Amino acid sequence: MTQYLIRRLLISIPLFFGITLIVYGIYALAPGDPLTAILGRDKMALMSPAQIEKMRHDFGFDQPVIVRYAIWLGSALHGDLGYPTTGSKSVLENLQERLGPTLLLMAVSLVLALLFGIPMGIIMALKQYSAIDYILTVIAFANLSIPSFFLGLGMIYIFSLKLNWLPTFGMSTVGDPFSWGDLARHLVMPSMILGIFNAGVWARYTRSSMLEVMHADYVTVARAKGLQERVVIFRHAFRNALLPLITIVSQSLPGLLGGAVITETIFQWPGMGMLSWRATINRDYAVLMGVTLISALMILTSNLIADLAYAWADPRIKYD
Amino acid sequence: MSDSSTVSAPATEKQVQNNLELRSKSQAPSRRVLRKFFRHRLAMFGLGLLVIITVLAVFAPVFAGYDYAEQDLKNTRQPPSATHILGSDSFGRDVWSRMLYGGRVSLQVGLLAVGVYIALGILLGSLAGYYGGVVDFIIMRGVDVVLCFPTLMVIIFAVAILGPSLTNTIIVIGLLGWPGPTRLVRGQILSIREMDYIMAARSVGIPDRRAILRHVLPGVLPPLIVSATFGVAGAILTEAALSFLNLGIRPPEPSWGNMLSQAQELVILEQQLWLWLPPGLAIMLAVLCINFIGDGLRDAIDPRQRDY
Q: CB distance B245–A262 less than 8 Å? A: yes
Kindly list the residues from chain B whose CB atom is less than 8 angstroms away from the CB atom of residue A253: 150
For the ranges A91-95, A219-223, B120-124, B272-276, the one whose mean pLDDT is highest? B120-124
Which residue of chain B comes nearest to A265, CA vs CA? B245
Considering only CA atoms, which of B184, B173, B162 is closest in space to residue B105?
A: B173
Answer yes or no: is pLDDT of A231 > 90. no
pLDDT score of B2: 39
Structural domain boundaries of chain A? 18-77, 91-313
Taking residues A262-287, what's their average pLDDT?
89
* CB within 8 Å of B209: residues ≥ 6 apart: none
Chain segment A32-44, per-residue pLDDT in tens = 666 776 666 777 7
Element (H, E) at A121: helix A91-126
Q: CB distance A215–B146 less than 8 Å? A: no
Separation of alpha carbons A196 and A193, rounded Å:
5
Which of B16, B153, B302 to mutate: most A Cβ within 10 Å? Answer: B153
Q: CB distance B295–A141 less than 8 Å? A: yes
Kindly list the residues from chain A whose CB atom is less than 8 angstroms away from the CB atom of residue B257: 147, 149
* CB within 8 Å of B182: residues ≥ 6 apart: B120, B121, B124, B125, B128, B139, B143
Mean pLDDT of chain B: 82
Answer yes or no: is pLDDT of B11 > 70. no
Answer yes or no: is pLDDT of B114 > 50. yes
Taking residues A286-301, what's their average pLDDT?
91
Q: Is B65 left (phi over 0), alpha (psi -120 to 50) or beta?
A: left
Answer yes or no: is pLDDT of B10 > 70. no
pLDDT score of B55: 92
Picking from A145, A261, A297, the nearest residue to B288 by CB comes out as A145
Q: CB distance B7–A214 less than 8 Å? A: yes
Q: CB distance B148–A300 less than 8 Å? A: yes
Q: Cα distance from A313 to chain B (closest Cα, Å)?
A: 23
Interface check B61 vs A, CB under 8 A: no
CA-CA-CA-CA torsion for A10, A15, A17, A21, nearest 10 degrees? 170
Q: CB distance B157–A280 less than 8 Å? A: yes
- Which pLDDT band holds residue B15 (cuts at 50, 70, 90)? low
Helix (H, G, I), strand (E, B) or coil at A204: helix
Q: Cα distance from A259 to chain B (closest Cα, Å)?
A: 7
Answer yes or no: is pLDDT of A108 > 90. yes
Cα–Cα distances (Å) from B60 to A212, B53, B105, in that order, read 45, 10, 11
Picking from A31, A261, A285, the nearest residue to B153 by CB comes out as A261
B-contacting residues in A 197-236 (Cβ below 8 Å): 211-212, 214-215, 223, 229-230, 233
- What number of other Cβ atoms are within 10 A of residue B273's Cβ? 15
Domain that holds residue B181: 30-65+95-301
- Whether B47 is in a domain gets the answer yes
pLDDT score of B25: 45
Answer yes or no: is pLDDT of B124 > 90. yes
Picking from B150, B237, B247, the nearest residue to A147 by CB comes out as B237
- How many structural domains is chain B composed of? 1
Interface check B143 vs A, CB under 8 A: no
Interface check B16 vs A, CB under 8 A: no
Longest dimension (CA), chain A: 90
Q: Is B301 exposed, middle or buried (0-12, 13-18, 19+ CB in 10 A)?
A: middle
pLDDT score of B97: 86
- What number of other Cβ atoms are within 10 A of residue B216's Cβ? 23
Separation of alpha carbons B48 and B66, rounded Å:
26
Picking from B4, B150, B246, the nearest residue to A257 by CB comes out as B150
Answer yes or no: is pLDDT of B268 > 90. no
Chain segment A245-266, per-residue pLDDT in tens = 778 888 888 889 999 999 999 9
For the ranges A54-58, A178-182, B9-13, B169-173, the one whose mean pLDDT is highest? B169-173
Angle at A312 between CA A308 and CA A315, to 5 degrees: 130
Interface check B204 vs A, CB under 8 A: no
Answer yes or no: is pLDDT of A311 > 50. yes
CATH T-level assignment (fold) for domain A91-313: MetI-like fold (1.10.3720)
Interface check B145 vs A, CB under 8 A: yes
Question: Residue B276 maps to which CATH number?
Answer: 1.10.3720.10
Q: CB distance A258–B4 less than 8 Å? A: no
Q: CB distance B141–A18 less than 8 Å? A: yes
Taking residues B60-77, what's their average pLDDT?
78
Chain segment A122-167, per-residue pLDDT in tens = 999 888 888 999 999 999 999 999 999 999 999 999 998 888 888 8
- Whether B181 is in a domain gets the answer yes
Give the percent of chain A with pLDDT over 70: 95
pTM of the model: 0.86
Answer yes or no: is pLDDT of A305 > 80. yes
- The torsion angles phi and psi of A31, rounded to 5 degrees, stand at -75, 160
Answer yes or no: is pLDDT of B4 > 50. no
pLDDT score of B118: 94
pLDDT score of A247: 80
- Whether B281 is in a domain gets the answer yes
* Lowest mean per-residue pLDDT among A94-108, A212-226, B286-300: A212-226
Which residue of chain A comes nearest to B155, CA vs CA? A258
Chain segment A42-66, per-residue pLDDT in tens = 777 777 888 888 877 777 777 778 8
Say if residues A266 and A149 touch (Cβ distance below 8 Å).
yes
Kindly list the residues from chain B whose CB atom is less than 8 angstroms away from the CB atom of residue A11: 141, 144
DSSP string covering B151-205: HHHHHHHHHHHH---HHHHHHHHHHHSTHHHHHHHHHHHHHHHTSHHHHHHHHTT
Helix (H, G, I), strand (E, B) or coil at B94: strand
Which residue of chain A comes nearest to B154, CA vs CA? A292
pLDDT score of A32: 67
Taking residues B19-48, what's their average pLDDT?
73
Taking residues B161-171, what's their average pLDDT?
89
pLDDT score of A136: 93
